[in-house]
Amino acid sequence: MKKNLLKIIALTVASIMAVSVMSSCGSKKDADTEAEGTNTLTMATNAEFPPYEYYDGKDIVGIDAEVAAAIADKLGMELKIVDTAFDSIIPAIQAKKYDIGMAGMTVNDERLEQVNFSQPYAKGVQVVIVKEDSDITDVDDLFAEGSKHNVGVQTGTTGDIYTTEDIESADLGTVSRFNKGADAVEALKIDKVDCVVIDNEPAKAFVEKNPGLKILDTAYADEDYAIAVAKDNTELLDKINSALDELKADGTFQKIVDKYITAK
Ligand code: GLN
């Protein structure tokens, strides 16, 4: 009898524990769902683009990461940053996989057909990185009749788009495409490419890290960076634009930029 009673108690304790484990699983699941839910602003980026987005240890930091966090804060949302290939950001935004694409992303007509962009928040310049002793001394050397340069770019970027049209299609050379800007720079160092066409701020960061390289004084193109949002998500777009207005007006935006870009 006593033995049976103990057995019943043991079984009861076990079933209470089982129920409590089940319910704690349940609440954990709810918490996860909530974390991905309406109160989370998901940002797709490509964290290979200093000083806009790059890794500091395990964290993605940079101007875009901090501006997005400040926007999320204004919207009363939690920011979640997802690192992905640059050329998969726009398709993912179109598919509503993430709320915003922020990756030093240039506004252009082709992309405007696929997504909406916020107001511009930065100027970008496509520049040319060469070795210090390169025979390419001006951007126009790339378009000179009979020239045959091999140009390194990051896949799907405007540097890729421009050089494919201006150089490859014009039979003035070839374009080598890399997953990361840093890989294109490595190729330049070992003479696999003659130059790299890339945005000015990452270019500065790469040249600083790699002695023997320089940026040409003449620029390839001027651009605007903005935040990509799905076409039909105009409500979020409006909120982001208002948040950007506020962050620009109260000095927060400039403070973030100054933290990462020092006037040289
Ligand atoms: N500004 C360029 C573009 O939008 C490059 C951006 C990037 O490599 N993150 O294509």
- The span from the CA of 220 to the CA of 130, in Å, is 13
Instruction: Determine contact, residues 64/53, Cβ cutoff 8 Å.
Output: yes
Minimum-distance ligand 1 atom for the alpha carbon of 52: 9
pLDDT of residue 263: 65
- Structure tokens, 80: 């979640």
126 lines ligand 1 (CB under 6 A): no
Strands 173-178 and 122-131: unpaired
Instruction: Determine contact, residues 166/160, Cβ cutoff 8 Å.
Output: no
pTM for the model stands at 0.84
Query: Going by CA atoms, what residue is nearest to atom 10 of ligand 1?
Result: 157
Distance, CA 50 to ligand 1 centroid (Å)? 11
Distance, CA 107 to ligand 1 centroid (Å)? 9
Contacts 24+ apart (CB under 8 A), 130-138: 130/188, 130/194, 130/195, 130/213, 130/214, 130/216, 131/188, 131/189, 131/191, 131/212, 131/213, 131/214, 132/212, 132/213, 132/214, 134/194, 134/195, 136/194, 136/195, 136/216, 137/216, 138/216, 138/217, 138/218
Distance, CA 87 to ligand 1 centroid (Å)? 9
Distance, CA 255 to ligand 1 centroid (Å)? 23
- The span from the CA of 188 to the CA of 150, in Å, is 10
Strand partners, 174: 150
- How is residue 165 annotated by DSSP? I
pLDDT of residue 245: 98
CA triple 243-248-253, angle to 5 deg? 95
Query: What strands lie across the sheet with 116-117, from one edge to the other?
Result: 78-83, 40-45, 100-101, 228-229, 116-117
For the chain, 264 residues long, give each residue's pLDDT as a single digit of tens.
Answer: 444 444 444 444 444 444 443 433 333 334 444 445 579 999 999 999 999 999 999 999 999 999 999 999 999 999 999 999 999 999 999 999 999 999 999 999 999 999 999 999 999 999 999 999 999 999 999 999 999 999 999 999 999 999 999 999 999 999 999 999 999 999 999 999 999 999 999 999 999 999 999 999 999 999 999 999 999 999 999 999 999 999 999 999 999 999 999 865
pLDDT of residue 38: 72
Pocket residue to mutate for ligand 1, from 48, 157, 183, 220, most atoms within 8 A of Cβ = 157
- Structure tokens, 89: 């950001």
Strand partners, 149: 173
103 lines ligand 1 (CB under 6 A): yes
203 lines ligand 1 (CB under 6 A): no
106 lines ligand 1 (CB under 6 A): yes
- The span from the CA of 118 to the CA of 106, in Å, is 11
Query: Going by CA atoms, what residue is nearest to atom 8 of ligand 1?
Result: 157
163 lines ligand 1 (CB under 6 A): no
Distance, CA 245 to ligand 1 centroid (Å)? 23
